[in-house]
């Protein structure tokens, strides 16, 4: 197994030092074609000229060109046939090579791990036997995932198939949803076939990347378990075993969000899941997620999502894309 570089080996790219104080937080809505998935290549990839983080999982498939992945206080070389994985909210940076050929894949947690009803901050505690899809993300900081020319062509073909399905019209969304996920799991399966033994060794040695402070994890658990209740920073700080001021600083530093923003985001995400996958009424969902009166829930949901709860439910239950009525 390759040695893990020490944190002091991290050499930030140009301009990174100036950007540290204001790290960008990217969302699926800004970086993906669909609510759960997005894929871009060197011809249409949105720029990210400085270290940043995002609220989704990301896979970078490099077909041609040489660059470096700055991640988790380390740096990993990227060459042709290298696949890189990024956990949500982890600060990282991959400068694109001038002659590079690559695909960048963005995936929501619910799409990658539909059976895990956990916050993204809690996934570091899930054993690989329960969620093997997490392995390359959790051990990216100490492994390089490299493939030969034949395998690289296969990876490129999988990316191209995903890109084609992502462009399908709304009426074909259900089939595309299934096919994209099958290609995505095929890609992760290829990584497992080549690096499965290393994954097991890394897990046995406790090398999984823990990128979130314990206080942040405790706060997120407190929020997730009390969505229907009134939530405030003081109670969350008590549950997190830190002062309110320190918790506010930690949340902003590690997630780029305030306590109120995190609460609202998790309420909205829970409401989305209930709207799509249950038959509960909008009033019931609003109450169970802490929004109170149905009118207040509908108004806040519409402000953030851009659709009424009923429109969101109809759109996804009938297998459409993100075009709201």
Judge whether residue 189 has pLDDT over 80.
yes
pLDDT of residue 325: 29
What pLDDT is stored for residue 12 in this prediction? 43
Contact 28, 106 (CB under 8 A): yes
Statement: residue 280 has pLDDT above 80: yes
The CATH code of the domain that includes 93 is 2.60.120.280
Distance CA 43, CA 102 (A): 9
Q: Give 72-90 pLDDT, tens digit per residue.
A: 777 889 999 999 999 888 8
Place of tokens 């969000």: 257
> Residue 323 domain-assigned?
no
Distances (CA, A) of 310 to 157, 279, 285: 38, 11, 11
CA distance linking residue 150 with residue 190, whole number of Å: 12
- Judge contact between 309 and 298, C-beta under 8 A: yes
pLDDT in tens, 304-321: 888 899 988 887 655 444
273 occurs within a structural domain: yes
- Range 260-285 average pLDDT: 87
Task: Specify the number of domains making up the chain.
Answer: 2
Single residue among 204, 229, 264 that ends a domain in this structure: 204
User: What is the per-residue pLDDT across 104-144, written as a single tens digit (0 to 9) for each?
Assistant: 999 988 889 988 877 777 777 788 899 999 999 989 988 99
Spatial distance between the Cα atoms of 216 and 252, rounded to a whole number of angstroms: 10
Domain boundary, last residue among 185, 204, 223: 204
156 shares its domain with 85: yes
Distance CA 317, CA 179 (A): 18
Q: Which of 21-35, 174-188, 229-243 has the lowest mean pLDDT?
A: 21-35
Say whether both 66 and 33 belong to one domain: yes
Task: Report yes or no on 298 lying in a domain.
Answer: yes
Query: Same domain, yes or no, for 198 and 290?
Result: no
Report percent pLDDT > 70 for the chain: 85
Q: Specify the pLDDT at position 170.
A: 60
- Using one digit for the tens of pLDDT, what is the confidence trace for 248-261? 998 888 787 899 98
Contact 69/144 with Cβ under 8 angstroms? no
Element (H, E) at 137: helix 135-138
Q: Where are the beta strands (DSSP E) in 167-313?
A: none
Q: What is the CATH number of the domain that holds 234?
A: 1.10.10.60
In a domain, 18, yes or no: no
Q: Are residues 184 and 304 in the same domain?
A: no
* Same domain? 42 vs 155: yes
Confidence of residue 16 (pLDDT cuts 50, 70, 90): very low
* Residue 105 belongs to some domain of the structure: yes
Gap between the Cα atoms of 69 and 84, Å rounded: 8
Which comes out higher in pLDDT, residue 173 or 261? 261
281 and 173 inside one domain: no
Residues 64 and 159 in one domain: yes
Q: Check whether residue 43 and residue 177 sit in a common domain.
A: yes
Q: What is the pLDDT of residues 205-220, one digit of tens each?
A: 887 665 567 888 889 8
Q: Are residues 35 and 157 in the same domain?
A: yes
277 and 183 share one domain = no
Considering the domain boundaries, does residue 2 fall inside one? no
Range of the domain at 177: 7-13+23-204
Q: What pLDDT is attached to residue 146? A: 97
The whole-number average pLDDT for the span 218-228 is 89
Residues 198, 70 share a domain: yes
Least confident piece of the model among 20-24, 38-42, 152-156:
20-24
How many residues are given for the chain?
325
Q: Is the pLDDT of residue 4 over 60?
A: no
CA 219 to chain CA centroid, nearest Å? 19
Beta bridge partners of 145: 83
pLDDT tier for residue 11 given thresholds of 50, 70 and 90:
very low
Domain boundary among 155, 179, 204: 204
pLDDT at 245 over 50: yes
* 253 falls within a domain: yes
198, 220: one domain: no
């Amino acid at each position: 197994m390759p040695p893990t570089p020490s944190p002091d080996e991290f050499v930030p790219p140009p301009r990174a030092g100036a950007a540290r104080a204001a790290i960008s937080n990217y969302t699926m809505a800004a970086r993906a074609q669909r609510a759960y998935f997005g894929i871009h290549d060197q011809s249409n990839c949105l720029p990210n000229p400085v270290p940043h983080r995002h609220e989704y999982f990301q896979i970078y498939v490099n077909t041609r060109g040489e660059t470096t992945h700055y991640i988790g206080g380390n740096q990993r070389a990227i060459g042709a046939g290298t696949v890189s994985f990024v956990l949500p909210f982890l600060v990282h940076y991959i400068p694109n090579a001038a002659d590079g050929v690559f695909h960048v894949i963005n995936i929501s947690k619910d799409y990658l791990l539909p059976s895990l009803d956990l916050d993204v901050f809690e996934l570091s505690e899930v054993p690989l036997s329960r969620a093997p899809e997490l392995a390359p993300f959790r051990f990216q900081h100490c492994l390089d995932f490299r493939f030969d020319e034949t395998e690289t062509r296969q990876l490129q073909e999988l990316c191209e198939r995903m890109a084609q399905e992502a462009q399908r019209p709304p009426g074909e969304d259900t089939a595309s949803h299934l096919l994209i996920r099958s290609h995505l799991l095929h890609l992760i399966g290829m990584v497992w076939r080549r690096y499965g033994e290393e994954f097991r060794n890394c897990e046995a040695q406790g090398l999984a990347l823990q990128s979130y402070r314990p206080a942040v994890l405790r706060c997120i658990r407190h929020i997730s378990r009390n969505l229907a209740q009134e939530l405030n920073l003081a109670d969350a700080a008590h549950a997190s075993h830190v002062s309110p001021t320190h918790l506010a600083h930690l949340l902003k530093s590690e997630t780029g969000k305030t306590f109120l923003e995190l609460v609202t985001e998790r309420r909205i995400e829970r409401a989305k899941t209930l709207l799509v996958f249950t038959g509960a009424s909008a009033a019931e969902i609003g109450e169970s997620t802490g929004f109170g009166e149905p009118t207040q829930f509908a108004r806040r949901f519409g402000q953030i999502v851009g659709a009424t709860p009923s429109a969101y439910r109809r759109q996804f239950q009938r297998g459409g894309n993100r075009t709201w009525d």
